[in-house]
Amino acid sequence: MTKFLNHHPSREMLVEFSAGTLDTATSICVSAHLHFCKCCRDEVARLNEVGAQLMADSSPETIDDGLFDKVMAKIDEPQPKVEADPVKKIGVSGFPAHVNTLIQNANKTPVWKRLSKSMEEAKLYTGQNQFEVALHKICAGGATPKHDHCGLEYTVVLKGSFSDEKSVYTEGDFIVREPGDIHQPMGAKNGECICLSAQEAPIRLTSLIGVFLNPWLRINPS
């Protein structure tokens, strides 16, 4: 059965993903979303076809700064529907294949570390230095501390669901948070929630205790 999601990467992000110009950490998160979302998989497949057609019709000398506009114009043209092959889930967790590969990395085996009574974190090694990529687990009915963001944060729900002041997020949803987005994620009561996250900068706790803890909060891209 096709799963309909409410939160997706932007079209611009999918274009960059298709073109191979998206940074590694963000690409990992977009790939995780594609594992769950047939709509975005079809869009990326269409972008790949458009890109291949443009490259076939253009010599290296004719490619200019207007190529992006040409791609976007092509995207808006009516396209025949193509049924994509179903994406296979692997591993006992049912996580996307590339996430399982990161988890099983022999050189940097992730370990769950408790951040609070409701939340645990397992950092993943991705070989880049822009974002910290990690798994975050919220226990059933648990809540994380209310916080702001000091940089971009991309999150994909891999298992279960959580909610905040803005919405409810289920498996496959792609969430973007920026500085000024203050929220308090809460896990669903019917089971734990596991997310894949890429953080550009540390969070900033908004409670009184944050005055003491915020100077010590760090990220470690790897």
The structural domains of the chain, with segments of one domain joined by +, span 11-75, 97-216
CA distance 75 to 69: 10
CA distance 183 to 204: 11
Q: What percent of the chain has pLDDT over 70?
A: 81
| pLDDT at residue 72, as a whole number | 63
**Tens digit of pLDDT per residue, the chain (222 long)?**
456 789 999 999 999 999 999 999 999 999 999 999 999 999 999 999 987 777 776 666 555 666 666 656 655 665 545 443 333 333 345 789 999 888 887 567 788 999 999 999 999 999 999 999 999 999 999 999 999 999 999 999 999 999 999 999 999 999 999 999 999 999 999 999 999 999 999 999 999 888 888 888 899 898
Q: Which residue has the tokens 């929630």?
A: 193
Which tokens sit at 99? 């996430």
| pLDDT at residue 53, as a whole number | 78
Q: How many CB atoms lie within 10 A of CB 22?
A: 20
pTM: 0.81
Per-residue pLDDT tens for 36-94?
Answer: 999 999 999 999 998 777 777 666 655 566 666 665 665 566 554 544 333 333 334 57
CA dihedral (114, 161, 205, 218) in degrees, to 10, reads 50
- DSSP code of residue 60: G
Using alpha carbons, select from 13, 82, 18, 11 the residue that is nearest to residue 50: 18
Q: Which residue has the tokens 């294949």?
A: 97
Residues comprising the chain, all counted = 222
b/e per residue 99-119 (b: at least 16 CB within 10 A): beebbeeeeeebeeeeeeebb
| Residue 51 one-letter amino acid | G
Topology of domain 97-216, CATH: Jelly Rolls (2.60.120)
Rg, Å, the chain Cα set = 19
CA distance 147 to 196: 18
Q: Which residue has the tokens 């706790």?
A: 205
Which tokens sit at 157? 């729900």
| pLDDT at residue 51, as a whole number | 78
Specify whether domain 11-75 bears CATH 3.40.50.2000: no
Q: Are 77 and 50 in contact (CB under 8 A)?
A: no
